[in-house]
Structure 1
């Protein structure tokens, strides 16, 4: 398989597209553009080998497909992404995963918009759901976030995309004489880029515990107590191609920049995960769990929803299109192909308009 996102043929664009940010949104956008024949350059503070940098969210992700929104455009992105990620299952990059999902109410399950998108979707009986809530089961999938990012990077490089490390202070800094479009996929970086300064950008702190548990073959997502404490949820997500590593979480702390792991919270996470999935432990106790490490990361969210739009700016005397693609929060991997495709469409529109303008001159 060489074209999981679909290939668009056409003449090679002479103008360069610069993507700022090498998380899952930035790299997926770069890959789609490269498959369309554009010359693409990626510059980012963090690259896929930086797996343990707290300031970069992509490698920390659970990276399973489980909708977080009922917003129409996000539903569209997630539907597209599920189809593309399913294509990676034969390659071993994605793993089919049965999911049990619980919430306090049907609105917590986003009113079941994905019942005809996910396979084997079933509403659970009340006696199957914890805390008097509601629940569903369906077949989903997960990817191993660090491995998957490196795969996308390799696909990009094979198509001639240049990827370099750089700490960008302003989007205008990356504009060179041949730059026609800049894609801003900086996530939380959009809070501090001097020519963006998007004050709606906010972190959502997550704390997880990685456990080695090769017998775990299912995913559980439990937010049935979200009406009592929206900062806490329980989730268990096995990672493919990881030697049996399972992610146990977690928390959802909007606006928190606390970098240190809370050991009491880690203990609570393990206790609650063990209730759902006894296979996490060799003897049914927390002490019988093979803990690898605690982790704290920051989901790149945005109050009011993700930003995907184009704006045109004058940079050093000429027009440059800026395509903003950030703020997807906890849904980066599961929305990545859909969001990146629409970002790439905005880039293509800008390049075509530029070519038409040049032809008239």
Structure 2
């Protein structure tokens, strides 16, 4: 019989919430503690501002990240097929353009995995693009930086990547996602199920400016209209700025053991994308912390795979002789 445990999940972004759900489905007791919860507005709370579509960022030589994205892709397509209203996941065509012809774009690892993959003919690529893909994808209608200050963690490798996006209302419905990635820029068009469209964007490391920049807004509109002419007569409903929780060296998912932890509540208040389990405030002995943060811009497309991996790691740690 499988043993259940009480687990505290710190952070309510897509990584924290998905991990909490995975643990709950496995029979564990789960408590979520976060500075921001769904519905809150904060530049540090990046997940609600995400375009939230599946487009892998895993390189050809990283099997672990590929497994994360593969699991999430299959999960999103299942949601889109079986419960689109409950989950907000919609299945749409995805189109990606790349200015750089590299192995990840010319021979992508996922071409046999996704549905309806095809290379886009050269004569149909936008200016500057050398490679293009089309495939079936899913989009989601929808405080990782806290690890910098979290007591006992204080990960100096964490840094914000500023993103600015627009929510617009087009006069013509948009039924596909479009992404164009070049040297130093990323432009994307991601429709939502309510008819609005997310336009982006920026990727500015170590930029803490929380204010929308008018010049950036105009640039986003100009570039996305080139990708999708149907946006010419759209109206801007909202301009958002959010800080993606990025990390030098990539995402951190690992177990760490703390001894004589005197005041665990302090850690819980300031945490994000980190889980603390088996807290014994009476004995205050050894505590297992399963770190899972630093997802940067790939939180949604890796969410289900990364959360399952994190839950596996936590359960192995709980059954370890170290506790």
Report the TM-score when normalising by structure 1: 0.77
Paired position in structure 1 for 2:205: 254
Structure 1: 4+ residue segments shifted above 6 A = none
- Write the distance in 2 (CA, Å) between the matches of 1:275 and 1:294: 20
Paired position in structure 2 for 1:153: none
Match of 1:109 among 105, 117, 136: 105
Tell me: CA distance 1:303–1:277, structure 2 relative to 1, closer, same or farther (3 Å): same
Paired position in structure 1 for 2:173: 215
Tell me: CA distance 1:291–1:22, structure 2 relative to 1, closer, same or farther (3 Å): same
Paired position in structure 2 for 1:97: 92
Shift of 1:11: 4.3
The reply to whether residue 139 of structure 1 matches residue 131 of structure 2 is no
Match of 1:337 among 304, 307, 313: 304
- Write the distance in 2 (CA, Å) between the matches of 1:66 and 1:133: 18
The reply to whether residue 309 of structure 1 matches residue 254 of structure 2 is yes
Aligned residues: 292
Match of 1:236 among 189, 213, 232: 189
Structure 2 segments unaligned to the other structure (5+ residues): 263-283
SS at match of 1:268: helix
Question: What are the superposed Cα offsets for residues 128-182 of structure 1, whole Å, 9 maximum, x if unpaired?
Answer: 222142111111110112xxxxxxxxxxxxxxxxxxxxxxxxxxxxxxxxxxxxx
Paired position in structure 2 for 1:62: 51
Structure 1 segments unaligned to the other structure (5+ residues): 1-9, 146-185, 282-287
Contact 1:82–1:334 (CA under 8 A) maintained in structure 2: yes
Report the TM-score when normalising by structure 2: 0.86
Tell me: CA distance 1:97–1:17, structure 2 relative to 1, closer, same or farther (3 Å): same
Question: What are the superposed Cα offsets for residues 87-124 of structure 1, whole Å, 9 maximum, x if unpaired?
Answer: 21121121111111111223363841110121111112
* Aligned CA-pair RMSD: 1.7
Match of 1:265 among 211, 216, 224: 216
Match of 2:236 among 286, 291, 295: 291
Shift of 1:84: 1.1
Contact 1:210–1:245 (CA under 8 A) maintained in structure 2: yes
- Write the distance in 2 (CA, Å) between the matches of 1:350 and 1:134: 44
- Write the distance in 2 (CA, Å) between the matches of 1:109 and 1:302: 24
